[in-house]
Amino acid sequence: MPNGNIVVTEERGTRVITLRRPSKKNAITQDMYREMSHAIDTAQNNSDIRCMIITGGSGVFTAGDDIEDFLKADASQPEMLSNGAKFLYSLALNAKPIIAAVDGASIGMGTVMLFHCDYVLASNAATFSAPYIHLGLVPVGAASLLMPNTMGYQRAFAMLVMGRTFSAAEAHAAGFVNTVVSPGHTEVEARKVAREICRLPAEAVATSRRLLRAPPEELTRRIDQEGHLFGERLKSEEAVAAFNAFANRKKR
Ligand SMILES: C/C=C/C(=O)SCCNC(=O)CCNC(=O)[C@H](O)C(C)(C)COP(=O)(O)OP(=O)(O)OC[C@H]1O[C@@H](n2cnc3c(N)ncnc32)[C@H](O)[C@@H]1OP(=O)(O)O
């Protein structure tokens, strides 16, 4: 049953997917992944939907995967994280333009999903990180393929292997943010971009987009490779110590 943490609306040919779990900085639970996948998958054969927007609302995009889920997902329950993997497949196989509106922190999967999106708007309060390394983990979601392709090896190394955070200006310079706007304005601007895309000839958009992007099978192959290594790392001492440190950080 939907619990309101993902809100899906439709307006003038655009499906808007909003992460709404502000008390947890929009950290993404497995239920949220399932609902986002459903929203993307069901748009594919719906000719009324010309593009999609993913937004976290104002103040934060998402704190990434819910770390409590990581703690629950031990070796005996590998299916615990499978909705995250399905969401990545939904992104990789998606054939409709997705616009992301990022206002505030974008962490982990928040940042990775941007590299599957087609147009990214950020406020100048946005920050971008994929701090897998600090959790003893490795990249997921074909990030190890898409990030170096988009922003070059050295920047990808800084983000993925050193765990550095990029400002909106750095993300723009790195080429994965199209436009930087004032805080509170990302959604308005995303709707303008959506209207622009909706006015274009849909079939030509779909074919041009397909030409520009890595083939879906290449993406899913890398997603699977990374997912296998990620699953191994989840059980590592380094990772378990990092998850526990996060869970206990306010109790100390
Ligand atoms: C396969 C994909 C993997 C990934 O996505 S890896 C990335 C995982 N994410 C992270 O490592 C980020 C962890 N979170 C943080 O570093 C911080 O939070 C923030 C910088 C996002 C915000 O800091 P601040 O403004 O000080 O808020 P706060 O008090 O830390 O958080 C507010 C509430 O949100 C919960 N929360 C934040 N992020 C997560 C998360 N990722 N998973 C689960 N809960 C999270 C906290 O615990 C707390 O909750 P309470 O008020 O009940 O103590």
Residue 84: CA count within 13 A, CB half-sphere? 29
Contact 118, 72 (CB under 8 A): no
pLDDT tens, residue order, the chain (252 aa):
677 999 999 999 999 999 999 999 999 999 999 999 999 999 999 999 999 999 999 999 999 999 888 777 654 555 556 899 999 999 999 999 999 999 999 999 999 999 999 999 999 999 999 999 999 999 999 999 999 999 999 999 999 999 999 999 999 999 999 999 999 999 999 999 999 999 999 999 999 999 999 999 999 999 999 999 998 998 899 999 998 898 888 654
- From 23, 24, 234, give the residue whose CB has the most ligand 1 atoms within 8 Å, as the site to mutate: 24
Alpha helical stretches, state H, 104-152:
109-114, 143-151
Q: Residue 173: helix, strand or coil by DSSP? A: helix
| d(CA 246, ligand 1 centre) in Å | 8
pLDDT of residue 160: 98
Contact 128, 164 (CB under 8 A): no
ipTM over 0.95: yes
Distance CA 79, CA 85 (A): 10
Pairing of strands 105-107, 119-123: unpaired
| d(CA 24, ligand 1 centre) in Å | 6
- Tell me which DSSP letter residue 58 carries: S
Distance CA 45, CA 112 (A): 25
| d(CA 108, ligand 1 centre) in Å | 11
| d(CA 70, ligand 1 centre) in Å | 13
Taking CA atoms, 194 is separated from 96, 200, 243, in Å, by 11, 10, 38
Amino acid at site 224: D
> Whole-prediction pTM value?
0.95
Q: Residue 68: helix, strand or coil by DSSP? A: helix
pLDDT of residue 72: 76
Buried b (16+ CB within 10 A) or exposed e, 105-134: bbbbbbbbbbbbbbbbbbbebbbbbbbbbe
Residue closest by Cα to atom 45 of ligand 1: 24
- Tell me which DSSP letter residue 161 carries: I
Distance CA 137, CA 148 (A): 18
